[in-house]
A and B are shown apart, each in its own frame.
Chain A
Amino acid sequence: GENVEQHPSTLSVQEGDSAVIKCTYSDSASNYFPWYKQELGKRPQLIIDIRSNVGEKKDQRIAVTLNKTAKHFSLHITETQPEDSAVYFCAASPQSGYALNFGKGTSLLVTP
């Protein structure tokens, strides 16, 4: 089955700096890669996603890049703010179905 690895497990940055979280996947048939944000005590919520026919996608301060050849994708957050502090999960969906395989999460702390 699909195996999604996520790094780093924790990340601390100063407000205004950029943050990058990286994921790798094992199943070459995976073609959908969402990112979820989970604030403390809250449910995970989708923040951005990318499909295999696209190499990069941006939404204001967040962007996701995908390298299908290397089987890795990354989340980039620019101009970080304290409210970006949360746990971020990457996921991949194999072509044969629509259940998501999640990475283990990255706890991001943005300090003022």
Chain B
Amino acid sequence: DADVTQTPRNRITKTGKRIMLECSQTKGHDRMYWYRQDPGLGLRLIYYSFDVKDINKGEISDGYSVSRQAQAKFSLSLESAIPNQTALYFCATSDLSGTHSEQFFGPGTRLTVL
């Protein structure tokens, strides 16, 4: 089945380290998103991309960067990780059909920054 996958699923790192989270999808969708989930704060948008040449900042982009290497891949980087970036990170995709369409989420990456 077409799906959204994320690697790694769990990661523990130290303050100051560079971290990359990867997202791949086989749904053939053009739009990809990175969200962060913290208890009691819901899902907050970090970055999103509507195609390979398009990168847009979300609500909480400071401290993060992204790369859209291909239609199917969207990676999130933390250049110098800090403890308050400890969270559950979700990648999501949606397609271009219609005015709005469902976002499909990956399984999530649990990141701990010590």
Contact = CB atoms under 8 A, between A and B. Distances in A.
B33 A99 contact: yes
B40 A46 contact: no
A55 to B, nearest CB: 17
Contact of B105 (A1, A6, A45, A103): A45
Contacts of B41: 104
Interface residues of A, number: 24
Interface string A41-60: 01111100101000000000
B105 A43 contact: yes
Interface size of B as a range:
20 to 34
B73 interface: no
Given A43-B107, A46-B102, A99-B45, A9 B40 contact: yes
Interface of B: 31, 33, 35, 40-45, 48, 50, 56, 58-59, 90, 94, 99-100, 102-103, 105-108
